[in-house]
Structure 1
């Protein structure tokens, strides 16, 4: 029983700055989505392999069962590593977004207050209609 479980692409993309001095990573959204999709596909493939193994487990020898166990442990480890990579990517994206928001509020406090007041008023109107 051999199957390849791929890890998410690490893709060293370059960072560039826009006119406000804020940084963004080119293609990070597509890379993140592709990584998540690959992880999901790998999980589905592993589930199918495990189901197939369970279906034929009674006919396997002890050596075959030991080999299947070792293969599963290796695949679980690989998937765990891939999941951590996706989680770290999401964490970095969140931190970058929070930093950009904080910088915007610091740079344009009046505009930020007006937007917050407008959003608050809109929510108040929508909630008040119930």
Structure 2
């Protein structure tokens, strides 16, 4: 887990930079439209579209990485739980019975 912290911080910083660049480009586009110079508007629009596309691709990539990391982590946790149950069957039965009793009592109160 400690290994993921620098990666997460780096991703957060990159996201901040991407959004900052996109914001600057949009501001430039807004300022360019105030001039009503057709060539200037076209150039700013192209830059804004390019940065928007780049930012979208980076966000999608990060989302896919986060999904993959979460899926791997859940898989590892499920494997660890399965191993615990195999190593400690009676403890697992006791825990399951206790949880079942608590849930039964909570449902019974309704």
Considering the TM-score relative to the shorter chain, is it more than 0.5?
yes
The root-mean-square deviation of aligned C-alpha atoms, in Å, is 3.1
Q: Which structure 1 segments of 5+ residues have no match?
A: 1-25
| Structure ID, larger Rg | 2
The residue number in structure 2 matching 1:83 is 63
CA contact (8 A) 2:85 2:92 kept: yes
Runs in 1 of length 4+ with deviation above 4 angstroms?
Answer: 28-57
Summarize the Cα distance change of 1:92–1:32 in structure 2 as closer, same or farther, 3 Å threshold.
farther
Shift of 1:110: 1.2
Q: Within 5 Å, which residues of 2 pair with 1:1-130?
A: 26-27=1-2, 30=5, 34=9, 52=27, 55-56=30-31, 58-59=33-34, 61-130=41-110
Summarize the Cα distance change of 1:118–1:37 in structure 2 as closer, same or farther, 3 Å threshold.
farther
How many positions carry a matched residue from both structures? 105
Higher strand share: 1
Bigger RCO of structures 1 and 2 (CA < 8 A, at least 6 apart): 1
Q: Distance in 2 between matches of 1:40 and 1:129?
A: 48
Q: Which structure 2 segments of 5+ residues have no match?
A: 35-39
